[in-house]
Structure 1
Amino acid sequence: MPPTNKGKDLPYDCTDRESIYHYAVDLRGSTLREKTDADEISDIRKNKGSFGSAVETYYFMLDLNNESEADFKEAGLELKTTPLKRNKNGSLSAKERLVIGMIDYMTVVGETFETSHLMEKAEAILLISYLWTPDTDPLDYPVELVEIVSMPSLPEGDLAQIKADWETVVNKIRDGRAHELSGSDTFYLEACTKSSTSKTRRKQPYSNIPAKPRAWALKASFMTAMSNRLIENMQSIERGADEKSLTLVELVRKRFAPYFGLTEQELGERFGYLESGQSDRRTWPKNLCACATRRILGVSDEAKIEEFEKAGIKPKTMRIKRNGTPKESISFPYFDYFELAATPYEESDFSSYMEQRYLFVIYREDATDDGVYRLSDVVFWQMPDDDLDEAKRCYEEMRSRVANGYAENSVKSSENRCCHVRPHDTKTSKPIPTPQGVPMKRKCFWLNAQYLKTEIARIASCE
């Protein structure tokens, strides 16, 4: 029997898109056999939706239904799975179109593109693409891509063509010619046939001739281009003719130098994330500084930075108060209590976080204006080898407490020079299971603010 979410604590927050996404990302590079208890999936050739149903029931523990509302209703997120195939030249292509939702001939004629049911269904799609291979058990299909895709946020040219395609289909229905619809009518978006038998027909509003049931779908060719763009979506930091010989550190500092001294608000206004004079922080995007970093480096919001990917660098915004102490400690993703108890430091995600190189984008508090932070520096940092042992001690101590039934007893910053453990958000953090059966709030590891203060000072003294 497939699992159910009734009366069960889910390993993600079903009301939070980010939580759902981060849980879904754990599927990337893995198979359902590796990540779930599923022991069989019906033949995908006879039931194209069988893989998607298995992902819903076994991985996300959702109750299957045929309702038109989003799979993650409270988060307004639609789950879609789609197969990729490996071509002879090694490239990937979409095996089939991506079906978004049925077309209601009777109501679509009264819609506009912007307010259409299509746009509602495609406002936020959690897209999970898996690699289909002939003669392979579907449980062993590896997941290649996990992304949240939003049709309204597609490139301007793509959205314009999709709107034109939508209008082509709808105008044909308005002309009483739904029975004449064809995939060849359009370029990116099509009205594909969708019924269990070829004899099924539906009424249309402006003709007595019944028409085949059809659904909105993004064509396989479009899905191929989009999937490859998402999988290989990397951009390089552009270099001028006189910058070819610069090291990465020199190049990054050169890009940031013209913006040193600007406030967060000024950067937000300059790059179009804030309106002029929009000073209320509560109205700012939560990732304002991260977006500004990408714009300064000349890459788009969603792209991976090729140089950073090659070097294993992760950008982090750091706000530093007048006394030199970071305004916040740096947090890492929530841990699972069962996984923590069972995983030694060397095999943990935490160890990889500690060994990663970071780009600290530093904002310092204004000398006279309280709460105003100005971009002041960028530094590359990696935890010194001598401190890795201290980080390991924090991890192993917390692991021991969880395994022995003391999960509520977090490692405090006073107990470890580098790291500590606490919930990320004490108000909204929901309890999750622990090995001892007592649910506890979700927690994560943090780098201590005082430790970061000494590290920033150390780096500054070495420059």
Structure 2
Amino acid sequence: MMEEYDRYSIDSIVEYATKLVGHTLREYVTVEQIADFHTRKGSYGNAVEEYYFKYRPNSDSRPDFSEVGLELKTTPVKKNSRGELVAKERLVFTMIDYEAVVNESFEESQFLKKARDVLLITYLSEPDKEPLDYVIEAVVRWGLPEEDLPQIKQDWETIVNKVRSGHAEDISGGDTLYLEAATKARTSKDRRSQPFSNVPAKPRAWALKSSYMTAVQRKAIDGMKLIPRTADEKNLELLELVSARFAPFFGMTEHELAERFELSRSKDLCARITRRILGVEDGDKIEEFEKAGIKAKTMRLRKTGRPKEAMSFPAFDYFDLLETGFDDSSFLGYLEQKYLFVIYREDAAGEYRLSDVCFWQMPEKDLDEARRCYEQMRENVRRGRADVSVGSRENRCCHVRPHGRNSQDTRPQPYGQSVVKKCFWLNQGYLQEEIARVLQS
């Protein structure tokens, strides 16, 4: 069968791809079914390559349409509980060759060659449909935005420097903001050699985080704003930019900052101050934070460095807790999120003054401890004892306690009378240790 597009013309390739918008793959190909992507990752993308563009999928390090330097990527979106379209998964580009990557620069890296010019096909993944019947939502020619390159370069160098130091086994998703080294092991025991250590490391691939891809999909939504940058700030990575914005205000109290930005007193005053310092208005989504999945959190530290309060998460549903394992839980999602801690420290007079900012995400080494807290509370619910919590002395990282308005603010449990609403909290002592660790590093 003759090709219906010219591989030597980007315009022809893009025009051919846009025919898919609003349609399903089944309408254009003769194959009856494709492999379930739950059992074989990449099967949908492979089907688009093989049956629509009519070229055999391969592991070539060059872009898919090598004649014009264009990479083809398919990426799924799903509807969240609010009916919004969000990225279903990260966007994977190419495997990391530990032996070769240590000799690359970011500008000449295999990742950048793949991500510089991308034909991005977005489809809506729906659980009650066969993959061939997923609707293609959008087709765009896309590349890494210039304003994101400083942060993506920083992420790339953070990962590569771990390989160069002989510690590829310590790479973690929490190390970076936009770009990550996603695990791609076929089994839990799958490992690869690294050049400067005898310790084997998990196989990993270059990937843009799902939070980043959600922001890409929402780029056209009104209200998402980039942090405005001066010419001197153009090449700063995100933490450097945020730190530079906050530094002039260190030492000021909440009241002084409210007067400085002409803000009235309100429950969310500190959050509004944070937005003003960053140069965005109330109600605007901060594009950089959306891409990195960052949530700003005000932390008030006493003179000792101990947080004034533990850090809470939304109240959980007792039925959901019983039915959902830790790996699929909202709690794990909160822990894997990255936070911007805006820190106010208590002075000798008892006033809280803006003192530091830092990014924090629970280290992977602590997730097992959080899992233990989750499973302990889950077992309490299973025994019909949802009234029994997990105390802060029982777990180094987390605990469970009420999160309702009062004792009458309850929720039903599977095996017993309704119980006051509860949620998971991060321990004050744990937060004190983690904030000190991050600031020292």
TM-score, normalised with respect to structure 2: 0.51
Residue 303, structure 1, aligned to residue 287, structure 2: no
The yes-or-no answer on 1:325 pairing with 2:306 is: yes
**CA separation in 2, counterparts of 1:404 and 1:233?**
47
Distance in 2, Cα, partners of 1:442 & 1:312: 27
CA distance in 2 between counterparts of 1:429 and 1:305 reads 37
SS in structure 2 of the partner of residue 251 of structure 1: helix
Contact 1:391–1:419 (Cα < 8 Å) also in 2: yes
Matches for 1:301-450 after TM superposition, within 5 Å: 301-367=282-348, 369-370=349-350, 372-425=351-404, 427=406, 430-450=409-429
- Which of 406, 419, 433 pairs up with 1:454? 433
Kept in 2: contact 1:262–1:374 (CA 8 A): yes
Rg comparison, structure with higher value: 1
Deviation at 1:382, TM superposition (A): 0.9
1:6-21 alignment, distance < 5 Å: none
| Alpha-carbon distance between aligned partners in 2 of 1:451 and 1:300, rounded to the nearest angstrom | 33
The offset of 1:229, in angstroms, is 10
User: How far did residue 269 of structure 1 move?
Assistant: 1.5
Q: 1:428 to 1:311 in 2, by over 3 A?
A: same
Following superposition of structure 1 onto structure 2, how do residues 234-313 of structure 1 map, counting pairs within 5 Å? 234-274=224-264, 284-313=265-294
> Tell me, what secondary structure is at the counterpart of 1:256?
helix
What is the match of residue 76 of structure 2? none
Report SS of the residue matched to 1:262: coil
Q: Shift of residue 303 of structure 1?
A: 1.0
Shift of 1:428: 6.2
Cα distance in 2 for partners of 1:316, 1:404 equals 35
Specify the code of the residue in structure 1 equivalent to 2:417.
V
Distance 2:402 2:221 in 1: 32
The 3-state SS of whatever aligns with 1:308 is: helix
User: Residues 268 and 429 from structure 1, CA distance in 2 versus in 1: closer, same or farther, beyond 3 angstroms?
Assistant: farther
Question: After the TM superposition, which residues 20-35 of structure 1 pair with which residues of structure 2 at under 5 Å, given as runs?
Answer: 26-29=81-84
Aligned partner of residue 444 in structure 1, secondary structure: strand
Distance 1:229 1:384, change over 3 A: closer
The C-alpha deviation readout for 1:310-338, integer Å capped at 9, x for no partner, is: 11111100000001100011100110010
How far 1:437 sits from its partner (Å)?
Answer: 3.5
Query: Per-residue displacement from partner, 1:413-440 (whole Å, max 9, x unpaired)?
Result: 0001000111124636611111014100
Secondary structure (helix, strand or coil) at the match of 2:413 reads coil
The verdict on how the C-alpha distance between 1:337 and 1:257 changes in structure 2, with shifts beyond 3 A counting, is same
Superposed, which structure 2 residues align to 1:112-151 within 5 Å? none
Question: How has the CA–CA distance of structure 1 residues 296 and 429 changed in structure 2, closer, same or farther, with 3 Å as cutoff?
Answer: farther
| d(CA) in 2 for partners of 1:272, 1:365 | 23
Q: Is the 8 A contact 1:354 1:383 kept in 2?
A: yes
Q: Quote the Cα distance in structure 2 between the aligned partners of 1:428 and 1:407.
A: 14
Q: 1:272, CA displacement in angstroms?
A: 1.8
Distance across 1 between alignment mates of 2:362 and 2:246: 23
Give the aligned residue type for 1:310: K
Task: List per-residue Cα deviations over 1:242-287 (Å, max 9, x = no partner).
Answer: 111111011000000111000011111112223xxxxxxxxx3111
Instruction: Quote the Cα distance in structure 2 between the aligned partners of 1:428 and 1:240.
Output: 51
C-alpha displacement at 1:300, in angstroms? 1.1
Change (3 A) 1:429 1:460: farther
Q: Distance in 2 between matches of 1:229 and 1:419?
A: 36
Tell me the residue number matched to 1:187.
none
Q: Secondary structure at the match of 1:314?
A: strand
- Contact 2:404 2:410 (8 Å CA) reproduced: no
Deviation of 1:233 after TM superposition, in Å, equals 2.0
1:278-309 Cα deviation digits (max 9, x unpaired):
xxxxxx31111011001100111111110011
- Do 1:320 and 1:365's aligned partners in 2 also have CA atoms closer than 8 Å? yes
Which residue does the alignment assign to 1:99? none
Q: Distance in 2 between matches of 1:27 and 1:429?
A: 27
Identity %, equivalent residues: 58
Contact 1:423–1:429, Cα closer than 8 Å, also in 2: no
| Alignment TM-score, normalising by the size of structure 1 | 0.48
Amino acid at match of 2:261: F
C-alpha RMSD over aligned residues:
2.5
